Amino acid sequence: MGKYKILFIHGAGGTKSKWRAVGGYFKSSQFEVIDLPGHGDNETSIFASIQDYAANIDKAIQEDTIVVGHSMGGLIALELAARSKKVKGVVLAASFYELPVHPKMLEKLENGEYPSSLFYASYNKDISEHLLEEEKQELNQVPIEITYADFNACNQYTEGKRALSSLNIPIYAILGSQDRLLPIGAAESLKNVKSDMKITEIEGSGHYIMLEKPKEFILALTEFVQEVETQTV
């Protein structure tokens, strides 16, 4: 591997730390893990839409890239790929072409509370207590108003299906078999929109597949990267 840069984009209310189990598997010169504006070490102003996030990243891409987006990051990846010829492949990591959010969840976030039901539903039922405690601490890394803005941006984004169907680059979805945040039948729905895309389901994983099942996730990802890099562009 090494032909393309691999760009990792975290999801709503997250930071680049969500990819902490992944970094050791790639050469530092090949992969890039970013904090979205307003998250973690990136102190840029809050962005209000998936389109704005994609436009911001689009300006920074200087080389051919495979974009790996988790959850909201997957929406950004689709939008980015629809805009940039530099994107040579997209990986939807526990993501879909639309991510509506329940009004009650949005209301709690808007009022400054991260819903505990949303937090626990994000992980498989057998998650280790150690990882769960780590993830509880991660919630404090992003101000709640930014987390709310992220979930609201997901809720308002309706262009993902159009973007997915229009792309002529390799698309791969890596999903968790116990993911309770994606729609039931997500894999089939993705195939209905993009019949030639590749889909893998990781057994025993919830929504945070790269943290819950990092070895399985990396194996699936590296195989896809190798396939993309051997294709003639």
Question: How many domains, in total, are found in the chain?
Answer: 1
Decide if pLDDT at 230 tops 90.
Answer: no
Q: How far is CA 140 from CA 19, 63, 134, 143, 175, in A?
A: 17, 33, 11, 7, 26
Measured in whole angstroms, the distance separating CA 189 from the mean position of its chain's CA atoms is 18
pLDDT digit string (tens) for 135-182? Answer: 999 998 999 999 999 999 999 999 999 999 999 999 999 999 999 999
pLDDT band at residue 24 using 50, 70 and 90 as cut-offs:
confident
* Rounded (10°) CA dihedral 221, 188, 211, 141: 110
Query: Can you give the pTM of this predicted structure?
Result: 0.95
Residues listed for the chain? 233
Structure tokens at 148: 């709310």
Look at 20-24, 90-94, 103-107, 201-205 and tell me which has the smallest mean pLDDT: 20-24
Among candidate residues 57, 86, 90, 66, the one with its CA nearest the CA of residue 164: 90
Average pLDDT, the chain: 93
Q: What is the CATH number of the domain that holds 154?
A: 3.40.50.1820
Average pLDDT over residues 59-79: 96
Decide if pLDDT at 27 tops 70.
Answer: no
Decide if pLDDT at 23 tops 80.
Answer: no
Decide if pLDDT at 2 tops 70.
Answer: yes
* Cα separation, 125 vs 206, whole angstroms: 8
The pLDDT value given to residue 25:
73
pLDDT band at residue 28 using 50, 70 and 90 as cut-offs:
low
Decide if pLDDT at 86 tops 80.
Answer: yes
Residue 77: give the domain boundaries.
5-230
Average pLDDT over residues 23-45: 82
Among candidate residues 75, 157, 155, 43, the one with its CA nearest the CA of residue 109: 155
Decide if pLDDT at 232 tops 60.
Answer: no
Structure tokens at 202: 């990781």
